[in-house]
Amino acid sequence: MDKYKIDKYTFITGATGGIGYELALVFAKNNHNLCLVARDIKKLREIKLHFESTYKIKVIIYGVDLTLEKGIIEIYQDIKYNNIIIENIINNAGFGSFGRFHEVDKDKDLTMIELNIKSLTHILKLFIPELIENGGGGIMNVASTAAFQSGPMMSVYYATKAYVLSLSGALRLELSPYNINVSTLCPGPTDTNFQSRAKVEKAKSAKGFMMTAESVAISAYKGFKKGKEIIIPGFQNKVLVYGSYLLPRKLIHKVILKVNKG
Ligand SMILES: NC(=O)c1ccc[n+]([C@@H]2O[C@H](COP(=O)([O-])OP(=O)(O)OC[C@H]3O[C@@H](n4cnc5c(N)ncnc54)[C@H](OP(=O)(O)O)[C@@H]3O)[C@@H](O)[C@H]2O)c1
C-alpha cells in the first residue's frame, strides 16, 4: 500500500460505474484521496459514504455533466477556491455509439465528441498548469484498443479514442520535464454499461474475452504506478493490438467490421 497522501487528491471522471468506479476503488484502497465526477449525484454520495467509512481517505464529489463547459469550469473554480491539490488526473468518462456513420443520430455522435474529446481536453487545459505549479503528478487518459485502428460500425467512437491516444503520447514528452507522467489506458472489451449505452452487439467471439472492470482497473493502477506509456490490460488485448501491426490495414478493418457487426 502507498503512503497516506494528506492533502493531495486523485481526480477521476466517470466514477459512478464500470472502469471509473473500479479505478476509484483501487485508488481508495491505496489511500488516495479522491475527487470524483459523474452525472449521478445520488450514486456519488453513496460511493463517498462507502469509501470514507471503509478507507482512510477523503472524497469530494461533483455531480456534473461533462459535456457542459460550464460544469467543468465550476469544478475547477471550486477546487481552486478550496485549495484542493490535484495530484493525479484520470480522464475516464466516455461512451460509444454503434451503427453506420450516416445512420447514427447526429446529436449522439456530437455529444460523444464533446465528452470523449472536448471535456478531456478542457480538463487537461485547466489542470495541467496546476500539476506543474504543484511540482508534478500523473495523468491517465482512458482510450481503448479501438484507438489503434479505424472502426467500421463505430467510426466516430474509434476516432475519438485515436485522438486520446495521440494527444497523450505528445503530452507525455512535453510534460516529462515537469515531473508529470502521462499514461494511456487502452482496455479491450470490458463488461460494463458501455455496451448497452452504445447499443453494441458484439460477435460471440468478442463477448468471450471480455474482461471485468475490476481486472482492468487493477492492471491500470499497476501500469500507472510504474509510469507506463500505454497500458493494455489482458494478454489477448495485447496480442490483438501488437499483432495488428503485422497485418495489412485493409484486412484488420475487415475483421473489425465483422466483429463489430456481431
Ligand atoms: N467497456 C468497454 O468495453 C470499454 C473498452 C475500452 C475503453 N472503454 C472506455 O472506458 C471508459 C469508461 O467506460 P465504461 O466501460 O466504464 O462505461 P460505463 O460503465 O458506461 O461508465 C461510464 C461512466 O462515465 C460517466 N459519464 C457518462 N457520461 C457522462 C457525462 N456526460 N458527464 C459525466 N460523466 C459521464 C458515467 O456516470 P453517470 O452516468 O453517472 O454520468 C459512468 O460513471 C470510457 O472512456 C470508454 O470509452 C470502455
Instruction: pLDDT band for 202, please (50, 70, 90 cuts).
Output: low
Question: How much is the pLDDT for 204?
Answer: 52
Determine whether the shortest distance from the Cβ of 190 to ligand 1 is under 6 A: yes
Instruction: pLDDT band for 185, please (50, 70, 90 cuts).
Output: very high
* Spatial distance between the Cα atoms of 247 and 150, rounded to a whole number of angstroms: 14
Q: What is the sign, positive or negative, of the torsion defined by CA atoms of 11, 145, 198, 125?
A: positive
Question: How much is the pLDDT for 173?
Answer: 98
Helix 18-29 and helix 41-54: axis angle, to 10°?
A: 20
- Quick check: 68 pLDDT over 70? yes
- Quick check: 5 pLDDT over 50? no
In a domain, 27, yes or no: yes
Question: How much is the pLDDT for 253?
Answer: 85
Count of helices and strands (H, E) across the chain = 11, 9
Determine whether the shortest distance from the Cβ of 119 to ligand 1 is under 6 A: no
In a domain, 164, yes or no: yes
Number of domain units in the chain: 1
Q: What is the mean pLDDT of residues 83-87?
A: 96
Question: How much is the pLDDT for 4?
Answer: 41
How many angstroms is it from 112 CA to the middle of ligand 1? 11
Determine whether the shortest distance from the Cβ of 63 to ligand 1 is under 6 A: no
How many angstroms is it from 57 CA to the middle of ligand 1? 24
Query: pLDDT tens-digit profile of 237-249?
Result: 999 999 888 888 8
How many angstroms is it from 255 CA to the middle of ligand 1? 25
- Look-up of cell digits 452504445: 198
User: Which among 153, 148, 88, 152 is positioned nearest to 123, based on CA atoms?
Assistant: 88
Ligand 1, atom 33: closest residue by C-alpha:
38
Q: What is the mean pLDDT of residues 96-119?
A: 97
- Quick check: 18 pLDDT over 50? yes
Instruction: pLDDT band for 250, please (50, 70, 90 cuts).
Output: confident
Question: How much is the pLDDT for 29?
Answer: 98
The domain that contains 242 carries what CATH number? 3.40.50.720
In a domain, 41, yes or no: yes
Identify the three-state secondary structure at position 44: helix
How many angstroms is it from 125 CA to the middle of ligand 1? 21
Instruction: pLDDT band for 207, please (50, 70, 90 cuts).
Output: low
Instruction: pLDDT band for 206, please (50, 70, 90 cuts).
Output: low
pLDDT more than 70, % of the chain = 94
Continuous segment of H or E residues that includes residue 34: strand 33-38
Output the CA–CA distances (angstroms, integers) from residue 70 to 6, 26, 35, 111, in the order listed.
29, 30, 18, 15
Instruction: pLDDT band for 3, please (50, 70, 90 cuts).
Output: very low
- Quick check: 168 pLDDT over 90? yes
Instruction: pLDDT band for 252, please (50, 70, 90 cuts).
Output: confident
Q: What is the mean pLDDT of the chain?
A: 93
Atom of ligand 1 nearest to the CA of 21: 43
Q: What is the mean pLDDT of residues 206-229?
A: 93
Question: Across-strand partners of 85?
Answer: 8
Q: What domain range is 113 assigned to?
A: 8-261
In a domain, 144, yes or no: yes
In a domain, 151, yes or no: yes
Phi and psi angles of residue 51, each rounded to the nearest 5 degrees, phi first: -70, -45
Question: How much is the pLDDT for 136?
Answer: 97
In a domain, 152, yes or no: yes
* Spatial distance between the Cα atoms of 64 and 145, rounded to a whole number of angstroms: 27
Q: What is the mean pLDDT of residues 170-176?
A: 98
pLDDT more than 90, % of the chain = 83
- Quick check: 9 pLDDT over 90? yes
Residue 6: exposure state from Cβ atoms within 10 A (0-12, 13-18, ≥19):
exposed
In a domain, 2, yes or no: no
How many angstroms is it from 14 CA to the middle of ligand 1? 5
**Mutation probe of ligand 1 site: the residue of 64, 97, 121, 190 with most atoms within 8 A of C-beta:** 190
* Spatial distance between the Cα atoms of 52 and 49, rounded to a whole number of angstroms: 5
In a domain, 1, yes or no: no
